[in-house]
Structure 1
């Protein structure tokens, strides 16, 4: 066979090349596009399987990305919008909005223990009261209340705010809980760690200055909690009327002004409440 015949035979058996199609540039892919593109098996997990995977990783510290969690905590103060842009990236790569890494919750629990140690010193608690205080702070104030708030907002957003989404697009419960954790971290830093050194010296007192300083911190902390919560749900492209989540700020401002006039000291009340619920008869 001649050299010319050999080349012709090779060309005749070569499969025709198909044009390469690049994925759409939009970060929000429809479900049909997701199904047609190759994905990892973990992207096909059900909600229950994702929850179980998250809980299993809760005690595997070597698998957690603590550096990334610290980055998120810093940017929740500096630029919280960047934090939620990374949630959008997770949706593209892992087909879920919620975190699959419990590192943020672990570090938040660590900060709660540190703040509990501060209250242990400032409030003059005993050691067995300190242990009880930590349990209340982590499992009731943070996780327990967070479960309630996340469930309520998850139900309301899916029921009243979804804009005829593509199939399978809804607010994940895990994402609603992550939004609570994001908003709760600055609140804890303001009301606990930042306020703590001035609690007995400046904030707890009967004067107007004490009331003004303490209640102003409460106003900032709660308003920031509401704002970060609003950012979390407004980052979802299939929700409407998310600005309504900012309405409670008005009520918080009214209560703040009333507290200054009527002599309510929220920080003093919080301290008495903390002492009361961990108090154990000798």
Structure 2
């Protein structure tokens, strides 16, 4: 059998396995008694205090369960709950009506978090398998792992930005300076945790490319602060316009 035939066979097997894993994962979402919420809370905590330890867990899962991606949807369920609670706080700041809040929650959960997450996970899954993985390595990076990495990297910025929106949604220079600094930290968190996640796989090369956007984030922060463009205020205006 040629290498291309082997590659195609492994790819077909991976697709079939990924589909079966996705079905099992989806079914478990409706079985709360089978979820480990305490462990999921531990993961959320470590995303803030020590994300390196959390990434080592993905390596351990590969040896014990033959997959990098989570097989327990408890993290996703808690993530959705936190997103709903933080959206309530933002809705109070925006002074939204109940109907507007429902629309806002729909956009935040299904568009900003899940929709964008699916797109980013798919793009990063393709790029890592195409450019960062050695061509002679038959095993592909799981799409579910890329989605997990997005949610891991998105959770700290979500808390950081949604919780302090009410403090930085002003037009004073200090609000612009500190508000945009929070955005810089959020962007850094996303890039850094994404780097830690993909770097933990060990089969990938040149994973430092995930850190490449950081200098651009710093440059954008400096420019936005100099011209006194409040990113949080702009986002609040966009949120409110979207639900009107």
User: Do both proteins adopt the same fold according to a TM-score greater than 0.5, normalized to the shorter chain?
Assistant: yes
187, 205, 223: which one pairs with 1:258?
A: 223
Shift of 1:165: 5.3
1:132 equivalent to 2:103? Answer yes
State whether residues 165 and 238 of structure 1, in contact with CA within 8 Å, keep that contact through their aligned partners in structure 2: no
Any idea what SS the aligned residue of 1:263 has? Answer: coil
TM-score when normalising by structure 1: 0.79
- For the pair 1:196 / 2:165, whether they are aligned, the reply is yes
1:177-216 matches, within 5 Å, as 177-193=147-163, 195-198=164-167, 203-216=168-181
Q: Report the CA distance between 1:207 and its aligned residue.
A: 2.3
The answer as to 2:116 corresponding to 1:154 is no
Relative contact order (C-alpha < 8 Å, sep 6+): which is higher?
2
Match of 1:249 in 2: 214
Structure 1, unaligned runs of 5 or more: 1-44
**Matching residue of 2:143:** 173
Structure 2 residue 51 is the aligned partner of structure 1 residue 51: no
Deviations 1:146-200 (A, max 9, x none): 0011111100000011124543x2210000000000001001010002x1341xx
| Structure 1 residues 89 and 165: CA distance shift in structure 2, 3 A | farther
2: CA distance, partners of 1:226 / 1:47: 26
Contact 1:164 1:238 in 2 (8 A): no
1: CA distance between counterparts of 2:207 and 2:136? 15
Number of aligned positions between the proteins: 229
Counterpart mapping for 1:117-128 below 5 A: 117-128=88-99
CA distance in 1, matches of 2:242, 2:52: 37
CA distance in 2, matches of 1:101, 1:250: 36
Matching residue of 2:81? 110
Residue number in structure 2 paired with 1:8: none
Provide the residue aligned with 1:10 in structure 2: none
CA separation in 2, counterparts of 1:196 and 1:247? Answer: 27
Do the aligned partners of 1:64 and 1:103 also contact (CA within 8 Å) in 2?
A: yes
Structure 2 partner of 1:143: 114
Give, in whole Å, the separation in 1 of the partners of 2:146 and 2:108. 20
Establish whether residue 67 from structure 1 lines up as the match of residue 38 from structure 2.
yes
Q: The residue matched to 2:56 in structure 1 has which SS?
A: helix
Aligned to 2:239: 274
Q: Does 1:225 align with 2:190?
A: yes
Counterpart contact for 1:214–1:266, Cα < 8 Å? yes
Partner of 1:3: none
TM-score (norm 2): 0.91
**Distance in structure 2 (CA, Å) of the matches to 1:277 and 1:73:** 30
User: Which 5+ residue runs of structure 2 have no aligned equivalent?
Assistant: 1-15
What is the CA distance between 1:204 and its match in structure 2?
Answer: 2.5
